[in-house]
Amino acid sequence: MKENTSMEAFLDDYGKIVVYLSQRFYNGKSDRFYLERTQGEVTACQIRELESHESYTRYTLTGPADIRMGEAVEIVEEHGHRAVLQFRRIVQTSRFDEDFAYTGELGAFCEETQTRFVLWAPTANEVQLDLRLGEKQVLLAMTRGDKGVWRTEAAGDWDGGTYLYQVKVNGEIHCSPDPYALSSTANGRRSGLVNWKRMTEMPQSALPPFARYTDAVIYEVSVRDFTHQKECGTTTHSQYRSLCETGTALAGKPTGLDYLTSLGVTHVQLLPVADFATVDEEHPELFYNWGYDPLQYGCPEGSYTSDPNDPRCRVRELKQLIATLHAHGLRVNLDVVFNHHYDIQFSAFDQCVPHYYFRTTPSGFLSNGSFCGNDTDSIKRMVRKYIVDIVCRWIEVYDVDGFRFDLMGVHDVDTMNCVVKEGRRLKPELMVYGEGWDLPTALNDDLKACQRNNAKMPEVAHFNDYFRDVVKGKTSEFDVQAKGYATGNLYQAHDMMSALCANTLNKEMYKIYQQPTQSINYIECHDNATGWDKMKDCCKDEVRELRVKRQKLMIAVTLVAQGVPFLQSGQEFCRTKYGHHNTYNAPDNINQIDWERKNRHEEVVEFTRDCVRLRRLIRAFRFASAAEIEEHVHFEVTEGQMLLYQLNDVQAYGGYQTIKVFFNPSNAVQYVELEEDYQLIFNEAGLLTTPVMVRNLAVNPITMVVLVK
């Protein structure tokens, strides 16, 4: 109960009213309660239960069953005190979800001669549209229709205009942006109107064929970080347009977009570009944030645009960035954060339909599986519809190629399957993957979109933390000393077998996934310390040159393993964040890409390019099924815990019958006598321009060697 409030009343179910009466008011005692409608009709309510607390008494009443959603009614008690009846936990009921599930269009639809506005707000009893463009301003009453959907139309051309909804609900007027807004003014003050079909058509490019997840090499990029450093040489910095600039270099070596396209990766995964809360879009230099603090889910972030107060600008410039990446042969995946809102108080969800969009525990408290104070409730029909609608709009408006779902385990299985199904109607090759952690959200474990339920989501991939921990060592700041196989724990050679098979086989291995297309193999991402920084702890007794070799080995393992390889930007030049584990709001000098460092580690960069070329050359590293892995992949642990990863009878996958990959993470040379001659095509120097025939092989310390026949 709110402080300094004598009485509050809530509709918590059909026919169930809960009243809180302050102990300051007649000691919290009342024997009679009535429901009074605006037209004067009064109905007695029956007291079903009461509970006395230190500061209030809680009454549970049976009220009339014919209260209409959005109807303005009051509860009056015997002493004449009254309170607006607020629609609260009733919106959490399955009946409400069924009664008000709406399948049509929502949002603002801006055309040359008119703009249509459609808002779902079933508990509101009045909605008005505040619409502005330049000096022109109108206030339009919206009309309620079926399923609690409010509509109005504004004649004329409102492209570039702004609007808010004035939603009267639970006795208060909320000035709310549109949950479905395509754009906005700076810092989400007002929703923005954009006739996106009027924008200049972006050039179409013939992207290389993409049929299966295992053909992807994903490279994670922050729009802000990638071009922030002045040494990048771009004319602008940390903006969508900065990442579109070509011809930039440092000491004759490419930077920015030219560097990105030189790596050979197939997919760029952008850290969140949907509107986030804690960076001032008009003064982005004041604060830093990765963007996992969502404010508006369908609107591009304004701090990355050249004019955050022009609604059309942020849409146009993000479209241009994605089109530019496409023109350079790169697909674009977006990192999306639907699992929570930065602050419910500022959420358009709670302004328009209070208490509906966020998951609660059985006792009525907000669920907090995201550890951000709230969880969106994807199992609700209009929340699921919202997520699917916004995903489809990112595809339709921006031509996005895939989505990485932050804290995907907060969502439910059916929602993720719907994302795949509906998204692929628009883009058949769409990638969908995410963090399938088993999070403590208030949802039945069997329904969570987490790794252990991966069999229920066959087209959804998961970040493979087993792979990360076995190859590199556990990644949290409490496990800095823990080594993985590539960082020197030789006893994990057998665990590496499971990792290299994308955890898809049972036979003497640890199985997690059904198919290799479900395993996103990574060593590092934006979260936690970089691999290089971790080695400063777990390999602190080794000289720098050895740690560089281990960095190369970790990259090589990632790119020859079965599954889907993922690289963090800068991993290929030993990126450091100076030991910081969580840099989500650290300054730019910690998060930015260091182009001078890139030039210093050009050897590792070129080695990474060669690893990507090797993966493309040998299709047997990219099996799409567990059956192929089981048939063709074999292992042997040799002297000194060196691991042989062998692919047999793979001539149908690219010209070689047998492929032998040796991993030697030890500090000693390991010698191998082969049964016949093989071609040596890859070693610590990368791809060999002229293969060497060998039968007796010396595998140098901390290296990967690839032989073919």
CATH code for the domain in which residue 388 is found: 3.20.20.80
- Active-site position among 8, 301, 335, 435: 435
Token output for 65: 């069953």
Average the pLDDT over 352-375 and give the result.
Answer: 97
pLDDT at 3 exceeding the cut of 90: no
Judge if 419 and 344 occupy the same domain.
yes
Token output for 394: 């990112």
Judge if 23 and 134 occupy the same domain.
no
The answer to whether position 457 is within a domain reads: yes
Judge if 136 and 269 occupy the same domain.
no
Q: Where does 347-380 have alpha helices with state H? A: 348-352
522-570 confidence digits (pLDDT tens)? 999 999 999 999 999 999 999 999 999 999 999 999 999 999 999 999 9
The answer to whether position 553 is within a domain reads: no
pTM over 0.95: yes
CATH code for the domain in which residue 61 is found: 2.60.40.2320
CATH code for the domain in which residue 127 is found: 2.60.40.10
Percentage of the chain lying above the pLDDT 70 cut: 100
Judge if 314 and 244 occupy the same domain.
yes
pLDDT-derived band at 58 (thresholds 50, 70, 90) equals very high
617-629 confidence digits (pLDDT tens)? 999 999 999 999 9
Q: What backbone torsions phi and psi does residue 403 show, to the nearest 5 degrees?
A: -140, 135
Out of 88, 114, 130, a domain closes at 88
Dihedral of CA atoms 377, 380, 383, 389 in degrees, nearest 10, equals 140
The answer to whether position 607 is within a domain reads: yes
pLDDT of residue 202: 79
Is 484 within 8 Å of 530 (Cβ atoms)?
no
Is 183 within 8 Å of 315 (Cβ atoms)?
yes
Total number of residues shown for the chain: 709
pLDDT at 38 exceeding the cut of 90: no
Q: Report the DSSP beta bridge partners of residue 687.
A: 682
82-95 confidence digits (pLDDT tens)? 999 999 999 999 99
Question: Can you tell me the distance from the alpha carbon of 197 to that of 606, in angstroms, rounded to the nearest whole number?
Answer: 42
Token output for 93: 């009921």
CA atoms within 13 A on the CB side of 55: 7
590-603 confidence digits (pLDDT tens)? 999 999 999 999 99
pLDDT at 384 exceeding the cut of 80: yes
How many whole angstroms from its chain centre is CA 137?
37
Question: Can you tell me the distance from the alpha carbon of 291 to that of 566, in angstroms, rounded to the nearest whole number?
Answer: 20
pLDDT at 266 exceeding the cut of 80: yes
3 as an active site residue: the answer is no
Q: Which residue has the tokens 């032989």?
A: 707
215-227 confidence digits (pLDDT tens)? 999 999 999 999 9
Average the pLDDT over 479-491 and give the result.
Answer: 96
pLDDT at 2 exceeding the cut of 90: no
Question: Can you tell me the distance from the alpha carbon of 281 to that of 283, in angstroms, rounded to the nearest whole number?
Answer: 5
Out of 31, 55, 88, a domain closes at 88
The answer to whether position 595 is within a domain reads: yes
Out of 151, 176, 201, a domain closes at 176
DSSP line for 508-521: TS----SSGGGEEE
Positive or negative torsion for Cα 436, 438, 440, 445 = positive
Judge if 74 and 133 occupy the same domain.
no
Judge if 19 and 140 occupy the same domain.
no
pLDDT of residue 430: 98
The answer to whether position 386 is within a domain reads: yes
The answer to whether position 474 is within a domain reads: no
414 as an active site residue: the answer is no
pLDDT of residue 201: 80
DSSP line for 309-352: T-HHHHHHHHHHHHHHHHHTT-EEEEEE--S--S-GGG-HHHHH
The answer to whether position 346 is within a domain reads: yes
Average the pLDDT over 376-397 and give the result.
Answer: 98
Is 19 within 8 Å of 8 (Cβ atoms)?
yes
Judge if 339 and 446 occupy the same domain.
yes
If you average pLDDT over every residue of the chain, what do you get? 97
The answer to whether position 641 is within a domain reads: yes
β-bridge pairing 114-120 and 149-155:
antiparallel
Judge if 597 and 649 occupy the same domain.
no
pLDDT of residue 204: 74
pLDDT-derived band at 5 (thresholds 50, 70, 90) equals confident
Judge if 684 and 613 occupy the same domain.
no
Judge if 321 and 406 occupy the same domain.
yes
User: Into how many domains does the chain fold?
Assistant: 4
3-state secondary structure of 469: helix
Judge if 395 and 453 occupy the same domain.
yes
- Active-site position among 220, 225, 317, 406: 406
CATH code for the domain in which residue 700 is found: 2.60.40.1180
Q: What backbone torsions phi and psi does residue 620 show, to the nearest 5 degrees?
A: -65, -15
Average the pLDDT over 295-306 and give the result.
Answer: 98
pLDDT-derived band at 238 (thresholds 50, 70, 90) equals very high
Positive or negative torsion for Cα 345, 346, 347, 350 = positive
State which H helix or E strand residue 397 sits in: helix 381-398
643-698 confidence digits (pLDDT tens)? 999 999 999 998 899 999 999 999 999 999 999 999 999 999 999 999 999 999 99
pLDDT at 390 exceeding the cut of 90: yes
CA distances from 196 to 154, 162, 178, 513 (A): 17, 15, 17, 40
Judge if 154 and 38 occupy the same domain.
no
Containing structural domain, residue 675: 632-708
